A and B are shown apart, each in its own frame.
Chain A
Amino acid sequence: MLDVAEERAQAAMGRWEARSLGVVRAEAAAEFARAAGDSAPALVDPADPAFVVHPMYLVSLLRPEPGAEPGELRPDGMYRDEVPGTDGLDVRLMAGGQAVRWVGEVRVGDRVEVRRAVTAVDRKRPDLLLITVEKTYAAERGPLIEVTERFIVR
């Protein structure tokens, strides 16, 4: 299984894909902040004059409203396309780490698109594959966040 995932991920390297994350709503960002355990009014109360979108909101959001179709999910509950190369394979998926760089301010009302591409595929061990993905979150007025994300496939 890992050989197939590795081959697919290698083939996907450098191929950029885009997906809409919808429009940033204040209530949704505030709900995220509350669920993350924040209590600062500027993060959890859209009526607060200093309200801002939680910086981790967009990069934590796996799907926009209204959510995924059932056919988009793997048996383990992950999205089939979340980890490139693993669709349909009986492999274990774990997050390896992230680097998040904020290059613009996310604002309520932003229509956000995320682009991503596989940038590295590393067979660490016969039973462990590391896939690195670069993501760029952008609004119409320009880039907002850049992410490097690593997935562990076993």
Chain B
Amino acid sequence: MTEAATTEAATGAVTAKAVTAEAATAELVPDEVMLLRFGAVTRNTHRIHYDTAFARSEGLAGPVVMAQLHGCLLHRAAAAHAGPAGRVREVSWQNRAPAHPGDRLTVTSTVRDTDPVSGEITLDLVEHRTDGAVCCRGHAVVVPDRTRD
């Protein structure tokens, strides 16, 4: 497998690695600051994301990462697979377990199939947290960057 691109953000310890063969990964280590920023820009004021006592009263271990932030990481993994001139046509996922600030979230994408006519690739996506638990499971459909062929 050939690594095609690696990006690193200044905050949130995010990485995305694109590969041209079976798998691509994206990682994120959201912390409390990231949850606050993300909640602010999306106007998500649900207390399970920042109020520890409230989150525990809801049966959670503590504040949890927003579903939309999981979605961003899943999209990032799919986009890494699509390549710079490709695009993501669809991302879907089910939330299986909560993630908390400090968890290292890793999304692995693997090719399920490729449409021989359109070239669209269907990817299976799995997001794990630090302890190995599956946080999200889903799939994506990408229109790949044909210039990489």
Partners in one complex: yes
Can you list the 9 inter-chain pairs with the closest CB atoms, starting with the nearest?
A37-B12, A99-B92, A95-B67, A37-B14, A60-B68, A97-B94, A39-B9, A35-B37, A77-B47
Does A19 belong to the interface (CB within 8 Å)?
no
Taken together as a complex, chains A and B put the C-alpha atoms of A40 and B9 apart, in Å, by 8
The number of residue pairs between A and B whose CB atoms lie closer than 8 Å in the complex comes to: 112
Question: Would you list which residues of chain A between 65 and 106 have a CB under 8 Å from chain B?
Answer: 67-68, 73, 76-78, 92-102
Please give 6 more A-B residue pairs, beta carbons under 8 A apart, in addition to A55-B79, A92-B58, A98-B67: A28-B41, A39-B10, A54-B72, A60-B69, A98-B93, A99-B91
B14 interface neighbour in A39, A59, A77, A102, Cβ under 8 Å: A39
* Inter-chain contact A38/B9, CB cutoff 8 Å: yes
* Inter-chain contact B89/A35, CB cutoff 8 Å: no
- Dominant secondary structure of chain B at its interface with chain A: mixed
Smallest Cβ-Cβ distance to B93: which chain A residue: A97
Chain A residues contacting B7 (CB-CB under 8 Å) are 38-40
> Hey, which bits of chain B sit against chain A, CB under 8 A?
7-14, 28, 30, 34, 37-38, 40-48, 51, 54, 58-59, 66-69, 71-72, 75-76, 79, 87-95, 136, 138
Smallest Cβ-Cβ distance to A93: which chain B residue: B46
Given known A-B contacts A76-B46, A76-B54, A101-B89, A31 and B41 have beta carbons under 8 A apart = yes
Chain A residues contacting B67 (CB-CB under 8 Å) are 95, 97-98
Does A56 belong to the interface (CB within 8 Å)?
yes
Nearest CB of A to B99, in Å: 12
Nearest CB of A to B68, in Å: 4
* Inter-chain contact B88/A36, CB cutoff 8 Å: no
Chain A residues contacting B76 (CB-CB under 8 Å) are 38
Does A123 belong to the interface (CB within 8 Å)?
no
